[in-house]
Amino acid sequence: MLDAYRRGAEIVFGVRERRDSDTWFKRRSARAYYALLHRLGVDLLQDHADYRLMSRKALTALTSYGEGNLFLRGLVRDLGFRSEIMLYDRAARCEDESKYSLGKMLWLGIEGRTSFSVRPGPG
């Protein structure tokens, strides 16, 4: 990420190369989530969550948004700064399980749809 930043990227997105460590349900629901938001006009990077490096300039632009509940996965891409993608492999969890329950995943999907989509409904 630092190499990309040194080359001039203001934002470096960490994107999973594979989802092998996820359950079948998690892979399918993630694919459906990205497809739905794409249909609604949200510019998301497939398999990017919240792993990113941002320059001070990009962070300053982000803090100019006055909302308290920001959908960062869509908003950071929309800032318009030069960006790069860094692919990475996420190791399987050793001991614990994700704290992202089904309910939390559904809420994130609703947040993305209602706070960042440009269309009023599906389709």
Count CB atoms within 10 A of the CB of residue 28. Answer: 11
Residue-level pLDDT at 25: 82
pLDDT tens for the chain, residues 1 to 123: 999 999 999 999 998 887 777 778 877 877 887 788 778 777 778 777 778 999 999 999 998 887 666 778 778 888 889 999 999 887 666 666 666 666 776 776 677 666 655 555 444
In the chain, which ranges are continuous DSSP H helix? 2-6, 24-39, 56-63, 72-78, 102-116
Residue-level pLDDT at 20: 73
**Using CB atoms within 10 A of its CB, is residue 27 exposed (0-12), middle (13-18) or buried (19+)?**
middle
Residue-level pLDDT at 51: 87
pTM above 0.95, yes or no: no
Residue-level pLDDT at 100: 62
Domain positions in the chain are 2-116
